Amino acid sequence: MNRRVLAALGSAALALSMAACSGDGAGSGGNDSDTPADLTIGVSMPTQTSERWIADGNSVKEKLEAKGYQVDLQYAGDDIPTQSQQVDQMITRGADVLIIAAIDGTALSGQLQAAADADIPVIAYDRLIRDSPNVDFYVSFDNYKVGVAQATALLVGLGVQTKDGAKGEAKGPFNIELFAGSLDDNNAHFFFDGAMDTLKPFIDDGTLKVTSGQTKIEQVAILRWQQEAAQKRMEDLLTSSYNSGTKVDGVLSPYDGLSRGIITALQNAGYKGADFPVVTGQDAEIASVKLIDDGVQSSTIFKDTRLLAEQAVIAGEAFLTDKAPEANDTETYNNGVKVVPSYLLPVQTVYKDDIKPVLIDSGYFTAEEVAAGQAG
Ligand code: BGC
């Protein structure tokens, strides 16, 4: 156990026994700053440009503070040196546990070594930290299944498959394009693998045609998941591969921000109405939920960040009380050095009809927020 945690727990126990001996009320016998409630959890989030990370940061902070912990929450503006520096500072300021959603999954080995040297447990939040033995736990969603769900939503949107997995009426051939996330994010590979395993049989039998021929993750990845870069790539694809009357029928997009860039490029090229291509997504960002409600974007994958934050807090508390957090997967996430014990949450596909039952009735968004396309 972390030395500071032991000391804090020890003093708290001493304070309690002193209070018991003297008959004083709780808290009157010791120094408040020595109680476990004064432990600090450092929370390092990648960026505030995507609303999901703001929601994640806020949820983790609120849940930890509700339990009385101190929280040092930092956002790194998608800049790797900034994140390294922020984690370094959390360590020097005496964090007792670190919860980190990495920008580049391979860039934090030095910081994690410093954390291990100071006996600070590290929880990788949603994105696995790679190439380090010092990742103690991983909380995330089933990322392979996210990719399967995205590809399935593309097939359903095109009518090749029905929502219950049966063969659909549509035969194709359909022209599609593929997008992937940032190559330095471990999740991007899981999403793409899940999607490609699902789409491959349909590409092989000619139902789907990737008109550009770009089917390798290196060809379709978007660095730092940037919306503008996705828009630019879609514009380039339209110019290079759709200049002779061929129409795009569908786009596999792994994240709502990329989907919005792709949609803008398609709209600027004149796509509209019933002929608008099927575009997938992820994260149920409010602007995209509105686009789904308006019939522009076809689907998104909802990952309830409230549940993920809860798991991070449960894991953090387990470390603070010297228990191993409960894992439900001890096989899938090899970070290059070891298999990191993980807690994976399920995901849900959201089409227009699912907005009310899944997002509004669960309190994730209000009907007004969906109508406005803006949270808060
Ligand atoms: C997350 C996704 C998110 C993406 C871009 C990934 O690591 O798992 O939910 O869409 O990063 O922020």
320 vs 344: which has the higher pLDDT: 344
When pLDDT is cut at 50, 70 and 90, the band that residue 159 belongs to is very high
Q: Is the C-beta atom of 126 inside 6 A of ligand 1? A: yes
Average pLDDT estimate for 247-251:
98
When the candidates are 3.75.10.20, 3.40.50.2300, 3.40.50.620, 3.10.180.10, the CATH number that belongs to 3-135+304-345 is 3.40.50.2300
Distance 255 CA to ligand 1 centre (A): 7
pLDDT at 129: 97
When pLDDT is cut at 50, 70 and 90, the band that residue 31 belongs to is very low
Give the whole-angstrom CA distance, residue 164 versus residue 156.
9
143-303+350-372 folds as Rossmann fold (3.40.50)
Span of 49-58, 262-271, 354-363 with lowest mean pLDDT: 49-58
How does the average pLDDT of the chain come out, rounded?
A: 91
Tally Cβ neighbours within 10 Å of residue 326: 12
When pLDDT is cut at 50, 70 and 90, the band that residue 131 belongs to is very high
- Tell me whether the CATH fold assigned to 3-135+304-345 matches the one assigned to 143-303+350-372: yes
pLDDT at 354: 98
Question: Does residue 142 register a pLDDT over 80?
Answer: yes
Q: Which residues of 150-181 are buried (b: 16+ CB within 10 A; e: fewer)?
A: bbbbbbbbbebbeeeeeeeeeebebbbbbbbb
Ligand 1, atom 4, residue with closest C-alpha: 255
Question: Does residue 220 register a pLDDT over 70?
Answer: yes
β-strand 300-302 against 348-350: which pairing, if any?
A: antiparallel
When pLDDT is cut at 50, 70 and 90, the band that residue 321 belongs to is confident
| Domain spans of the chain, in order of start | 3-135+304-345, 143-303+350-372
When pLDDT is cut at 50, 70 and 90, the band that residue 35 belongs to is low
Tally Cβ neighbours within 10 Å of residue 204: 9
pLDDT at 38: 81
Question: Does residue 7 register a pLDDT over 60?
Answer: no
User: Above pLDDT 90, what percent of the chain?
Assistant: 87
Pocket test of ligand 1: the residue of 49, 103, 185, 223 to mutate, having most ligand atoms within 8 Å of its CB, is 185
Distance 105 CA to ligand 1 centre (A): 12
Average pLDDT estimate for 71-77:
97
If we measure between CA atoms, which residue out of 284, 218, 292, 208 comes closest to residue 252?
208
Average pLDDT estimate for 79-90:
98
Q: Is the C-beta atom of 253 inside 6 A of ligand 1? A: no
Ligand 1, atom 3, residue with closest C-alpha: 255
Question: Does residue 17 register a pLDDT over 50?
Answer: no
Ligand 1, atom 5, residue with closest C-alpha: 225
Give the whole-angstrom CA distance, residue 166 versus residue 208.
17
Distance 67 CA to ligand 1 centre (A): 27
Distance 181 CA to ligand 1 centre (A): 8
Pocket test of ligand 1: the residue of 189, 226, 282, 349 to mutate, having most ligand atoms within 8 Å of its CB, is 282
Span of 4-18, 42-56, 226-240, 338-352 with lowest mean pLDDT: 4-18
Question: Does residue 19 register a pLDDT over 70?
Answer: no
pLDDT at 29: 26
